[in-house]
Amino acid sequence: MAEGFRTLIVGGGVAALEGALALRDLAGDRVTVTLLAPEPDFVYRPLRVKEPFGLEQAQRYPLSEIARDIGVELVRDRFGWLDSESPVVHTDGGDRLSYDALLLALGARLHPAFSHGLTIDDRRLDEQLHGLIQDIETGYVRSLAFVAPSAMPWPLPIYELALMTAHRAYDMEVELSVTIATPEDAPLAIFGIDVSQAVEGLLSDRGIAVLGSAHCSVPEPGLVLIHPGGRELRVDRVVALPELFGPSTPGVPTGTHGGFIPVDVHCRVRGFDNVFAAGDATDFPIKHGGIAAQQADTAAMAIASLAGAAVEPGPFNPEIHAILLGADKPLYLSAHITGGHGSASEVSEEPTWSPPTKIAAKYLAPYLEAREPQGTQ
């Protein structure tokens, strides 16, 4: 590949692929793109919630094929540390990758927030929840709490899992009490009031109780303490979302909370001219695939401009779209994000964006729609 403006993208998830596709569109041959990613495949994480119910498996797309298809070089290795003086990224495998611009899209690290209960890990959700669902089907488990840690991670899965579990119990004609305990002041509060009210109604129709503004601890198996107030919830099983932390990126500054990478409105890492970050790795408080993609698009505009393309970098102006699964029909949710809450909140049973995919991403969504996934697992 001819040497253009060298852009190194670290990661092989939503933000990384969206960034690579956006750069191809915005800067064409002016940039050469290298993708540094340890895993062989891009996995469509939102569909993992269906796996424990035997409904569908998350699609996988080999990164090597995507890289070949869009004309980027793939290096299968891990980010080790950044020497911004040189400037070079050192990989765990001992390589030194130099760049003119760097986009960090390493995602978040997952940690259990509670020492008791089951903390979901979407890489093995099927294995984790399959037994629980069987215990519900046979009537062995009759009460269940889905608990989110105090810093709400991805907004959707807790609601989707609760809805699908309640639905399965109903189908099997078994009694099951389902409670969601969440630090949000209302269900899916970041989507704004209209969405929250619609989701609240849906959950109530399904007999799912919601404890909002709940900061929980799980001091022993089956016991959830809700703060403030000290209310106790006793259930047969507790399923918790993980707490998210920023990635380990030696040489890159981390913000004050959770080790996330601090970025400005152009998704430029604070203190750097040519280092950008996008997605769950950044200090933007909402962790969502569509948001990751918009951040990657914002960074790609700034990088294309640095490479000399006729692109005016615009600021990150977050808009959130989501498809909530688990009701009779999928619900299409949208909002503009202002100050951590949604305005222009919209809920519909019909798609309101195109293509209407779980991860709303300007370039990645149509690209994946046009590709065949390969072998699910």
Q: Rounded to 10 degrees, what is the CA torsion of 220, 222, 226, 229?
A: -80
Which window, 45-53, 81-89, 333-341, 343-351, contacts ligand FAD (CB under 6 A)?
A: 45-53
Nearer to ligand FAD, 145 or 158 (CB): 158
Nearer to ligand FAD, 78 or 142 (CB): 78
| Binding track, positions 46-65, relative to ligand FAD; x by CB under 6 A | x-xx----------------
Which window, 39-47, 129-137, 231-239, 260-268, contacts ligand FAD (CB under 6 A)?
A: 39-47
Query: First vs last Cα of the chain: how many Å apart?
Result: 33
38 lies in the site for ligand FAD, by CB under 6 A: yes
Separation CA 110–CA 16 (nearest Å) = 19
78 lies in the site for ligand FAD, by CB under 6 A: yes
117 lies in the site for ligand FAD, by CB under 6 A: no
289 lies in the site for ligand FAD, by CB under 6 A: yes
- Pick from 26, 33, 35, 36: which binds ligand FAD (CB under 6 A)? 36
Nearer to ligand FAD, 124 or 227 (CB): 124
Separation CA 261–CA 257 (nearest Å) = 9
Helix axes 63-70, 14-27, angle to 10 degrees: 10
277 lies in the site for ligand FAD, by CB under 6 A: no
Q: In the 8-state DSSP scheme, what is residue 131?
A: H
134 three-state secondary structure: helix
Query: Which is nearest to 86 in space by CA: 103, 105, 100?
Result: 100
Between residue 210 and residue 269, which ones bind ligand FAD under the rule CB under 6 A?
A: 247
Tokens of 128: 């984790």
Looking at the DSSP assignment, which residues form a beta bridge with residue 244? Answer: 110
Between residue 10 and residue 29, which ones bind ligand FAD under the rule CB under 6 A?
A: 10-16
- Pick from 27, 101, 103, 106: which binds ligand FAD (CB under 6 A)? 106
Separation CA 258–CA 240 (nearest Å) = 19
Residue 155 C-beta: closest distance to ligand FAD, Å: 8
Separation CA 157–CA 61 (nearest Å) = 22
- Pick from 52, 87, 107, 187: which binds ligand FAD (CB under 6 A)? 107
Residue 157 C-beta: closest distance to ligand FAD, Å: 4
105 three-state secondary structure: coil
Query: Which is nearest to 123 in space by CA: 79, 77, 61, 58?
Result: 58
- With residue 159 as reference, give the H or E element that holds it: helix 157-171
Pairing, β 143-147 against β 177-181: parallel
Residue 295 C-beta: closest distance to ligand FAD, Å: 8
288 lies in the site for ligand FAD, by CB under 6 A: yes
Sheet of 215-220: strand order equals 215-220, 223-227, 231-234
- Residue indicated by tokens 């009759």: 142
149 lies in the site for ligand FAD, by CB under 6 A: no
Nearer to ligand FAD, 29 or 92 (CB): 92
279 lies in the site for ligand FAD, by CB under 6 A: yes
- With residue 20 as reference, give the H or E element that holds it: helix 14-27
Q: How many residues bind ligand FAD (CB under 6 A)?
A: 36
Residue 288 C-beta: closest distance to ligand FAD, Å: 4
What are the backbone dihedrals phi and psi of residue 31, each rounded to the nearest 5 degrees, phi first?
-115, 145
76 lies in the site for ligand FAD, by CB under 6 A: no
105 lies in the site for ligand FAD, by CB under 6 A: yes
Query: Which is nearest to 70 in space by CA: 377, 374, 368, 376?
Result: 368
Residue 34 C-beta: closest distance to ligand FAD, Å: 12
Nearer to ligand FAD, 69 or 92 (CB): 92
The residues of the shown chain that bind ligand FAD, judged by CB under 6 A, are 10-16, 36-39, 45-46, 48-49, 78-79, 105-107, 122, 154, 156-157, 247, 279-281, 287-290, 292, 322, 358-359
